[in-house]
Copies of this chain bind each other. A is one copy, B any other.
Amino acid sequence: MDDLLHVDLKDVRPATAETDVLVIGFGAAGTCAAHAAREAGAEVIAIERSAGAGGAAALAEGIIYLGGGTPVQQACGFDDSVENMTAYLMAACGPEPDEAKVAAYANGSLDHFDWLVARGVEFDARLDIETQMAPRDTHGLVWSGGENAWPFSEMATPAPRGHLAKTKNSTGWLLMKILAEACEAIGVETVYDTRVTALVVDGDRVVGVVASSYGEERVYLARRGVVLTAGGFIWNDDMLRRHAPTLLRGTWKVGTEADDGRAIEMAQSVGARVKNMHVGEVSLPIIPPRDLIQGIIVNGHGQRFINEDTYMGRVGQAALYDQDATCFLVVDEAAYQPNWMGLTATWVCETVGELESEMGLPAGSLEATVDLYNRHAATHDDPMFHKAPDWVRPLIPPLGAFDLRPGVAPYAPFTLGGLETSVAGEVIGLGGEAIPGLFAAGRTTAGICSFGYASGLSIGDSTMFGRFAGHSAAGA
C-alpha cells in the first residue's frame, strides 16, 4: 500500500487513533494550524515524520514578514499601514499575486503579531540596517524585501517588515520551539517519527491518513478535517524536473528532506489543483556587508541586469531564471571586503579590460558597462536600473570580481508553488470546489507570492494561513 497516495476507508485497517483534526507536519504552518484548531475546541493530533517539531522553519533565520504598523516598526520610527503594506505586497509578490490572500495577510498582520507575542514570542525593537537576513545581534527588524529600493520605493512608502524573535544568531529554532510548546500547553497531541503516506477517503470526503512509523502501518482518522502542512518539494528532484527544472541548479536547498512534495501529490490524487509549481524563491546572499552594493552585478555578457541594492532573493531569482545562472559582482578597492560567508574576489585586475579578459567576458563588454555606469555615477545617477543614489559612485580601478555562479556562490532555493487553497485554508479541487475534509497551509500550498518574494513571507504566510486552516478544519 506504500505507493498509493490515497486509500478508501473500507480498505484500511482499524484506526490507531481517531480525533477531530489531524495536522500533517509540525513546522511553521503545522504548529499554528494545530494551535488554532485546538483553541477552536477541537481534539487535535499533529503527526510529524521527524523526531521533533520545527520543520524547515527551525533551520531558517526565522524572519516573519509583518507590517501595517507593528509595535516594533513604530518603536524603530517607521510608519506603516495596511494599505501601504498591501501596495508593496501587490507589487513585490507578483506578477498577479493572490489578491485575496494578500488582502487577508495585510489586514491580519497586526493581529498576527499580537497572536505571536501572546504565545511567548519576544521582539527586540531595534533595526539592523546591515543585513536582509538574520542580524548578528538580537535586533528584531530588518529590511527583508527591497522595500527601500527601486521599484518598490516608488510604489509604497518604504518600511522594514522582517521581524525576528529575540535571540542571537539563527532564530527560526527559537520561534518554532515557542510555537510547539504553545501547542503542548493547550493539549495538542503530537506523534513524531511517523511519516504520512496516504490520505484516507470516504466517498468524496477526506477522513484520515495512513502513516508509517518504524515500519509499522498506522491509520489515523479525523472527524472534522485533515490539514496538510508538510512543506514543499525542494527535496524531490523528480518533481523539480517536472515542474521547476530551473531550481535544480540551486546549490543549497532550503528545507529538509521532508520537503519531498508527497503531501501535494496525496492531495492531487484526490483531485486537488496546484498552482505556480514552476516558481521558487532563490536567495543569493551576497551581503552583508552592505558596502558591496557600491559594486555592480553583471551577467555572462558583462551587462548589468538589476539594481544591486534590491533584495538578494530578487537577484537570485533573476540570475537563475533569466540570466542562465551566470553572474558576477564587480567592486573597486574602496568597497571591497570579503562577504559574510567568506567569499572573496576571484579576480583582481588593474584595468577593466584586463578584468573582463580574466573573467572570460566578451572583449569590450565590461568596459562598455563600466564606462556607462561611471558616466552617470559621477552624479549619483543610475538611469539603467535605478540603484539608490547613496550607493552610486564611479568605480575606480583596480577592480575585483566575485564569481557568483552556482558552485562558487550559494543559490538557495525553495519552492513557492503547491496546492491552491482559499484564504480559509480549504484545498481547492480541479473543478474549483473545496475538497470536503481537506485543508492545507505553508509551502504545501501556493501562498501569496506568484513569483516575487521577500524574506519572512514564507514563515509569515505559513503561520497566519496555518492558523486559518486549523480554525477552518475545527469548524468543518
Contact = CB atoms under 8 A, between A and B. Distances in A.
Interface in A76-123: 95-96
Contacts of A430: 5, 265, 268-269
**Those 5 A-B pairs whose CB atoms lie nearest each other, nearest first:** A278-B278, A362-B383, A322-B322, A242-B275, A368-B368
B95 A245 contact: yes
Contacts of A323: 322
Interface of A is mostly: loop
B365 A245 contact: no
Given A243-B275, A275-B242, A322-B322, A384 B372 contact: no
A5 B271 CA distance: 9
A303 interface: yes
A445 B413 CA distance: 28
Most chain-B CB neighbours within 10 Å: which of A241, A303, A369? Answer: A303
Given A244-B278, A363-B383, 8 more contacts: A243-B276, A243-B277, A243-B278, A265-B430, A301-B303, A301-B385, A303-B303, A362-B383
Contacts of A431: 3-5
A420 interface: yes
A277 B277 CA distance: 8
A413 to B, nearest CB: 15
Most chain-B CB neighbours within 10 Å: which of A277, A304, A321? Answer: A277
A274 interface: yes
Interface in A364-383: 364-365, 368-369, 371-372, 375-376, 383
A353 B3 CA distance: 64
A178 B274 CA distance: 39
Interface string A280-318: 000000000000000000000101110000000000000
Contacts of A4: 431
Contacts of A420: 242
A271 B363 CA distance: 53
A274 B383 contact: no
Contacts of A278: 243-244, 277-278
A421 interface: no
A277 B4 CA distance: 24
Contacts of A455: none
Nearest to A242: B275
Interface in A412-453: 420, 430-431, 433, 450-451
A273 interface: yes
B271 A269 contact: yes
A26 to B, nearest CB: 25
Contact of A301 (B3, B242, B384): B384
Given A95-B245, A322-B321, A420-B242, A372 B365 contact: yes
Contacts of A364: 372, 375-376, 383
